[in-house]
Chain A
Amino acid sequence: MISDRTESSQDWRSDGTGVVLQGSQCAACYTVGFPAAESCTGCGGETTTAVDLPTEGELWTWTTQSVRPPSPPYAGAESAEDFSPYLVGYVAFESGVCVEGRLAEVEPGGVRIGDRMHIVPVEYSTDSQGAPLSTFAFAPTSAEVTR
């Protein structure tokens, strides 16, 4: 069943091995933006081209979401009692852009700024019809690399 919310997935795609975020890059100052935008937030340039973001980066900061966010905008249909806390963070990619997303496969005590992270798909909840809601998330690349 396809949720009416999958229109948003134009901002990323699954390529078999993981998730690729689809941003844009300014033709004038090379600033990378995500989601893709028609003009550059760095310099106001009006020419941008589509660019795939790298699939790995470093955790720039993080925090926790311990209670169910206000809905709307949150789309998950679970009750406050059934809500599962999650982590969010920004991952810095080589181009200099930091992207915000949920963190996957981590606990509050087990994550540190600077950890290597890669992008994975996650099903974070279901909508009111029971259809899965999915998005991208950042997961630690490996324990050996991060310590």
Chain B
Amino acid sequence: MTGVSIAGIGITEFGRNPRSVPKMAVHAVRGALADAGAEWSDVHFAAGGSHSGGHADNLLGPLGLTGIPFMNVFNGCATGASALLAASNAIRAGEARLALAVGFDRHARGSFAPRPRDRGLPEWYGDAGLMVTTQFFGMKIQRYLEQHDVDRSVLARVSAKAFRNAEHNPNAWRRTPVRESEIAGSMMVADPLTKYMFCSPGDGAVAVLLCRADDAHRHSSTPVHIRSLTHRTRRPGSFEVFSPAFSPVEGVSVSADAASAAFEAAGIGPGDIDLAQLQDTDSGAEVIHMAEVGLCEHGEQERLIFDGATELTGQIPVNTDGGCLANGEPIGASALRQIHESVLQLRGTAGVRQVRNGPQTALNHVYGAPGLSACTILSR
């Protein structure tokens, strides 16, 4: 079976984008086509998804009705990763030489307003004010900090890093550095997480074109390859958002499952990773995910973060483009934003925020409701 490589990448500005949603997405696709040196008519398979931005296959109108199969996908925060998986499988199966994965979104201001019946939950759960995603993130890190003796000061440090990294990312939303004292002192949203420790729903679109590995040099002088791409859903005992009740099993984590499968499929270990993009819906999630994906032991984060290990100049830079904390969370787009950033870093074209010494391998991790995770390992 053929390997799969990145042929091209395209992105829009994140945050509040003045373009209409379809125009944002088309802009990202055309960016990816230009990057790959390809035409729309060269693309023979597409997959895409959006939470609030309409059906992804509406893009076929403005891009051109070439008759190709277009798979609409939705998988929460892993939507972009699911589009990537579908496109990757089309290449592997020999159904296309060039396949598109696209993700985009636009969300109203403020937090999401989910409906219990969409999740198979009783109405009283929503009525009583329990169906709020921020509560889950607050409760998960609250227990984690106590259980693993991690000081809550790491939370402001993680957010401050995100805004610092984003200062050098022209597509990021929040590009002004914020002092840790201001982050820690901002409004408490879900104890111990304050306002500046949460990402905000926003706009964004990203497109990634995939090709056969033996075609990669036709599209890029510094090709980046997909080493592995894994999706997992929750097992019993995993603590997940929107759970009226569950029976905890220590150590069970869907992110850990997805990451270990990705490492096994790639034939490498966490020690081989040069940089990582980790789901950072909130700064606590980045802290927890560092250990869940295997980049460190549980409880080791405080030392690593205060030693600067996850900074651009550290031994394992995390969320080099500012992550969701600084780019916002357009649900359909975030997973592919990670891929976009890792490709720039591996090509050595990330500009001021370029990780030094020629990174070779990047881990990309998303996590979303109702308990799913996708991990993608890319390498030069």
Cβ B245 vs Cβ A73 within 8 A: no
What is the distance, in angstroms, from A54's C-beta to the closest C-beta of chain B? 13
Contact assessment for B139 and A34 in the assembled complex, using a CB-CB cutoff below 8 Å: no
Given contacts A70-B113, A74-B126, contact A63 B245 (CB under 8 A): no
- Write out the residue numbers on chain A whose beta carbons fall within 8 Å of the beta carbon of B189: 64, 66-67
B1-9, B78-86, B127-135, B265-273: which lies at the interface: B127-135
Also in contact, A74 and B129, with CB within 8 A (given A62-B139, A63-B138, A89-B139): yes
1/0 contact string of A75-99 vs chain B (CB within 8 Å): 1100000000010111010011111
Q: Residues of A within 8 Å of B, CB-based: how many? A: 48
Question: Which of B127, B132, B248 is close to A98, meaning CB atoms less than 8 Å apart?
Answer: B248
Q: Could you tell me the distance between the alpha carbons of A66 and B247 in the complex, rounded to whole angstroms?
A: 27
Task: Check A75–B244 contact: CB distance below 8 A.
Answer: no
Known: A62-B142, A65-B190. Is A70-B110 also a contact (CB below 8 A)?
yes
- B188 contacts partner chain A, Cβ-Cβ < 8 Å: yes
Residues in A neighbouring B236, C-beta threshold 8 A: 31, 41-43
Complex alpha-carbon distance, A31 and B236, angstroms: 10
B132 contact set on A, CB distance < 8 A: 65, 69-70
A113 touches which of B128, B142, B246 (Cβ 8 Å): B142
Q: From residue 110 to 138 of chain B, which have CB atoms closer than 8 A to chain A?
A: 110-116, 122-132, 134-135, 138
Query: Is the CB–CB distance between A63 and B127 below 8 Å?
Result: no
Contacting residues, chain B, for A62 (C-beta < 8 A): 139, 142, 191
Which residues in B have their C-beta under 8 angstroms from that of A56? none
Contact partner of B122 (CB less than 8 A), chosen from A35, A95, A99, is A35
Q: Which of B126, B131, B143, B187 contacts A61 (CB 8 A)?
A: B143
CA distance A58 to B129 in the complex (A): 22
A72 CB-CB contact with B under 8 Å: yes
Complex-state Cα separation, A145 to B113, whole angstroms: 38
Known: A75-B127, A100-B130. A63 touches B113 (CB 8 A): no
**Closest CB in chain B relative to A139 CB, distance in Å:** 15
CB distance from A137 to the nearest CB of B (A): 9
Q: Is the interface of A mostly helix, strand, loop or mixed?
A: mixed
Q: Is A101 part of the binding interface, using a Cβ–Cβ cutoff of 8 Å?
A: yes
Interface status of A23 (Cβ within 8 A of chain B): yes
Contact of B113 among A43, A60, A73, A102 (CB under 8 A): A73
Known contacts: A65-B135, A101-B130, A113-B146. The answer to whether A92 contacts B248 by CB under 8 A is yes
Q: Which residues of the other chain, B, contact A96 by a CB distance below 8 angstroms?
A: 247-248
The chain A residue with its CB closest to the CB of B144 is A61
Q: Does B140 sit within 8 A of A, measured CB to CB?
A: yes
Chain B residues, Cβ within 8 Å of A72: 113, 115, 126
Instruction: Assess whether A110 is interfacial by the CB under 8 Å rule.
Output: no
A65 and B128 CA atoms in complex are apart in Å by: 12
Point out the residue from B126, B138, B142, B245 that lies within 8 Å of A33, measured CB to CB.
Answer: B245
Known contacts A61-B139, A75-B128, A100-B130; is A108 also within 8 Å of B191 by CB? Answer: yes
Q: Flag if B191 contacts A63 (CB, 8 Å).
A: yes
Q: Give the complex CA separation of A29 and B115 in angstroms.
A: 31
A60-B143, A98-B247, A135-B127 known; A73 and B138 CB under 8 Å? no
Of the candidates A8, A31, A63, the one whose C-beta lies within 8 Å of that of B139 is: A63
Which chain B residues numbered 242 to 276 have a C-beta less than 8 Å away from chain A? 243-248
User: Closest B-chain residue to A59, C-beta based?
Assistant: B143
Given the complex of chains A and B, what is the CA–CA distance between A95 and B247 in angstroms? Answer: 9
With A64-B191, A73-B127 as given contacts, are A99 and B245 in contact (CB-CB < 8 Å)?
A: yes
- In the complex, per-residue mask of A18-42: 1 if CB is within 8 Å of any chain B CB, else 0: 0000010000000111110000011
* Bound-complex Cα distance A62 to B189 (A): 13
- CB of A100 within 8 A of CB of B143, answer no
Nearest Cβ on chain A to B98's Cβ, whole angstroms: 41
Residue ranges of B at the interface with A (Cβ–Cβ < 8 Å): 110-116, 122-132, 134-135, 138-140, 142-143, 146, 187-191, 193, 236, 243-248
Please name 27 pairs of A and B residues whose Cβ atoms are closer than 8 Å in the assembled complex, sorted by A: A8-B122, A8-B124, A11-B122, A35-B245, A41-B236, A41-B246, A63-B135, A63-B142, A65-B129, A65-B134, A65-B135, A66-B189, A66-B190, A69-B129, A70-B113, A72-B113, A73-B116, A74-B129, A76-B129, A97-B245, A97-B247, A99-B244, A100-B130, A100-B243, A108-B188, A108-B191, A124-B129
Chain A positions within 8 Å of B, measured between CB atoms, are: 5, 7-9, 11, 23, 31-35, 41-43, 60-67, 69-76, 86, 88-90, 92, 95-102, 108, 113, 124, 133, 135
3 nearest CB pairs, A to B: A73-B126, A63-B138, A8-B124
Known: A61-B139, A62-B142, A100-B244. 8 other contacts (CB 8 A): A35-B122, A35-B244, A65-B135, A73-B113, A74-B131, A76-B129, A100-B245, A102-B129
